[in-house]
């Protein structure tokens, strides 16, 4: 009695005449190389996404911090705008919960127009807050781009 194996059980390629052949070593190596290239590309994409999310986290925190400093400056008013030295820093957990990132900010107030001497009501100011991180000065970093952001606003401050 001869038992025939089901079609799904046989391996190899039918070359006719009932003979089958397996994959050659070259075919196996080519398929492994293609899988390896695909894996490297996928890992590269995920690595780029990870660094992009870290940059976005730092940029978002920098803009929020700049907004808070700007609000405090507007509430405090001239001449110091709540920052006697004009600069400050804050250590914040941004994208890495194990370590803090130091964000350095600087406020630059510029008086645009004095109030009228005949009707003293207030002055017009241009306030700019620059925030940078990872360095003492605003700079760029390969793969991360610019490591700073700024927020500015023109405000009227009553006397």
Tokens 């398929």 locate to: 31
* SS (HEC) of 18-34: CEEECCCHHHHHHHHHH
Distances (CA, A) of 33 to 30, 47, 64: 5, 21, 47
Q: Is the per-residue pLDDT at 28 higher than 70? A: yes
Q: Is the per-residue pLDDT at 3 higher than 70? A: no
For residues 54-72, average pLDDT: 91
Q: What is the pLDDT of residue 129?
A: 95
List of E strands, the chain: 13-16, 19-21, 87-92, 101-113, 122-133, 140-141, 145-146, 148-158
pLDDT tens-digit map of 79-101: 888 888 888 888 888 777 788 88
- Provide the whole-model pTM: 0.67
């Amino acid at each position: 009695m001869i038992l025939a194996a089901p079609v799904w059980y046989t391996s190899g390629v039918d070359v006719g005449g009932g003979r089958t052949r397996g994959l050659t070593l070259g075919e196996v190596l080519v398929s492994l190389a293609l899988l390896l290239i695909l894996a490297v590309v996928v890992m590269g994409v995920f690595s780029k996404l990870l660094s992009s999310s870290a940059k976005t986290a730092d940029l978002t925190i920098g803009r929020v911090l700049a907004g808070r400093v700007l609000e405090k400056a507007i509430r405090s008013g001239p001449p110091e705008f709540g920052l006697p030295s004009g600069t400050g820093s804050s250590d914040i957990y941004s994208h890495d919960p194990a370590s803090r990132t130091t964000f350095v900010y600087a406020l630059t107030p510029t008086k645009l127009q004095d109030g009228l001497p005949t009707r003293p009501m207030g002055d017009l100011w241009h306030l700019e807050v620059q925030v940078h991180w990872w360095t003492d000065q605003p700079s760029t970093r390969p793969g991360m781009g610019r490591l700073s952001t700024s927020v500015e606003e023109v405000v009227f401050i009553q006397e």
